[in-house]
């Protein structure tokens, strides 16, 4: 009887679902689920905060004025449309510069370039993520802006072009690291097969690996664009902060982030201040929908 009893106890212990590894996995799953719920609540709270402070514009009937082309707060005109267009133009310009460059760096690292240079290039990209944005801004102000002013002989140098060039450098690491992480998962699995079939490295990367990494390519574009839209210092220091729709890349612009930074430090009571929350809501909503 004792032997049968001990055998049954051992079987029950062996079949127990609450083993140490199972318990740890269950706790980790619950912790991650709780973190996801908490993050979602924070996002909803931020959205509600911005929407609440934007409501006075709806009730006062000034919401249509908000999307006009005139920003003259002392004359009762609070149009932020030039800032919206400036934000989109700057972000798209930076993305059009940074994305092909980032894709080329990833292909270089994954086999199109010498293998001895792959690790140094990646280390340089990782180092770029640690450079403060204000450092890029100072370099642009003291080096790039005078260069553009002297070269084109037009404007002050503080322009859409200057801001786009340095903003593309700022978002480049985000694009490179996202695309490269996706390729690192796919290339080792595909390269042995493609080499066996006689497919060259360039053909494998361009015609097989890149199409297979389409989700990563799309995510890099979205996050790079979001990073460009959300930056404040480059636009504030380099773009010129003129509330106008630019006629060329050498004209000054003002983005929504720079506009908020400039106005919030000088006004806290008027409709001008309330319009900032509408600008924040415009910045917040599309990025959350895309991400």
What tens digit of pLDDT does each residue of 221-235 get? 999 998 898 888 898
Q: Would you say 231 and 136 are in contact if contact means Cβ atoms under 8 Å apart?
A: no
Of 37-46, 57-66, 121-130, 192-201, which has the strongest mean pLDDT? 121-130
Tokens 């049968």 belong to which residue?
A: 4
List Cβ neighbours of 88 (8 Å cut-off, separation of 6 or more). 229
Task: Say if residue 211's pLDDT is above 60.
Answer: yes
pLDDT more than 70, % of the chain: 82
- Note the pLDDT of residue 1: 43
DSSP string, 88-151: HHHHHHHHHHHHHHHHHHHHIIIIIS-HHHHHHHHHHHHHHTTS-HHHHHHHIIIIIHHHHHHH
pTM: 0.79
Residue 76: per-residue pLDDT: 67
Binned at pLDDT 50, 70 and 90, residue 19 comes out as low
Q: Which long-range contacts (CB under 8 A, 24 or more apart) does 63-69 make?
A: 63/278, 66/275, 66/278, 69/245
According to the model, what pLDDT value does residue 232 have?
Answer: 86
Check whether 201 has a pLDDT greater than 60.
yes
Of 161, 204, 166, 171, nearest in space to 186 by CA: 204
Q: Looking at the predicted structure, is the pLDDT value of residue 94 above 90?
A: yes
- In the prediction, which pLDDT does 102 show? 92
Pair 115, 191: CB distance under 8 Å: no
State the average pLDDT over residues 19-25. Answer: 68
pLDDT of residue 280: 76
For residues 82 and 84, what is the distance between their CA atoms, to the nearest angstrom?
A: 5
Determine the Cα angle at 42 with ends 41 and 48, to 5°: 85
Average pLDDT, the chain: 79
Residues 201, 111: contact at Cβ < 8 Å?
Answer: yes
Tell me what pLDDT residue 101 has: 94
* Residues in contact with 64: Cβ distance below 8 Å, sequence separation at least 6, in sequence order: none
Position with higher pLDDT, 280 vs 12: 280
Of 140-144, 271-275, 281-285, give the range with the top mean pLDDT: 140-144
Helical ranges in the chain per DSSP H? 2-15, 20-59, 63-66, 81-107, 115-128, 133-139, 145-152, 160-196, 201-204, 210-212, 214-230, 233-238, 256-264, 271-290
Q: Which of 229, 269, 262, 283 has its CA nearest to residue 93?
A: 229
Give the distance between the most distant pair of CA atoms in the chain: 101
Encode pLDDT of 106-125 as tens digits. Answer: 888 887 878 788 888 889 98
- 227-270: pLDDT as tens digits: 898 888 898 889 888 888 888 888 888 888 888 888 776 655 56
Q: Phi first, then psi: give them for residue 69, nearest 5 degrees.
A: -95, 0
Task: Report angle CA 51, 262, 137 to the nearest 5 degrees.
Answer: 115
Cβ neighbours of 246 (radius 10 Å):
20
Q: What is the CATH number of domain 68-290?
A: 1.10.3720.10
């Amino acid at each position: 009887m004792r032997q049968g009893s001990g055998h049954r106890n051992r079987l029950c212990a062996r079949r127990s679902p609450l083993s140490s590894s199972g318990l740890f996995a269950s706790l980790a799953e619950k912790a991650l689920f709780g973190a996801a719920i908490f993050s979602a609540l924070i996002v909803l709270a931020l959205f509600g905060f911005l929407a609440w402070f934007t409501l006075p514009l709806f009730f006062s009937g000034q919401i249509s004025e908000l999307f006009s082309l005139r920003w003259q707060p002392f004359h009762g005109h609070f149009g932020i449309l030039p800032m919206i267009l400036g934000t989109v133009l700057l972000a798209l310009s930076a993305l059009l510069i940074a994305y092909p460059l980032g894709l080329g760096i990833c292909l270089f690292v994954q086999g199109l370039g010498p293998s001895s240079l792959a690790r140094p290039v990646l280390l340089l990209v990782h180092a770029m993520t640690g450079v403060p944005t204000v450092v890029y801004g100072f370099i642009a102000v003291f080096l790039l802006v005078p260069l553009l002013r002297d070269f084109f002989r037009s404007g002050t140098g503080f322009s859409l072009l200057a801001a786009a060039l340095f903003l593309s450098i700022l978002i480049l690491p985000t694009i490179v690291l996202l695309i490269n992480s996706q390729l690192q998962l796919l290339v080792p699995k595909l390269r042995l097969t493609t080499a066996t079939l006689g497919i060259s490295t360039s053909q494998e990367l361009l015609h097989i690996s890149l199409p297979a990494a389409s989700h990563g390519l799309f995510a890099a574009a979205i996050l790079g664009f979001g990073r460009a839209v959300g930056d404040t210092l480059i636009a504030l220091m380099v773009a010129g902060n003129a509330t106008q729709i630019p006629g060329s890349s050498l004209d000054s612009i003002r983005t929504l982030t720079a506009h908020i930074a400039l106005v919030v430090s000088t006004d806290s009571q008027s409709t001008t201040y309330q319009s900032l929350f509408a600008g924040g809501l415009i910045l917040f909503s599309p990025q959350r929908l895309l991400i």
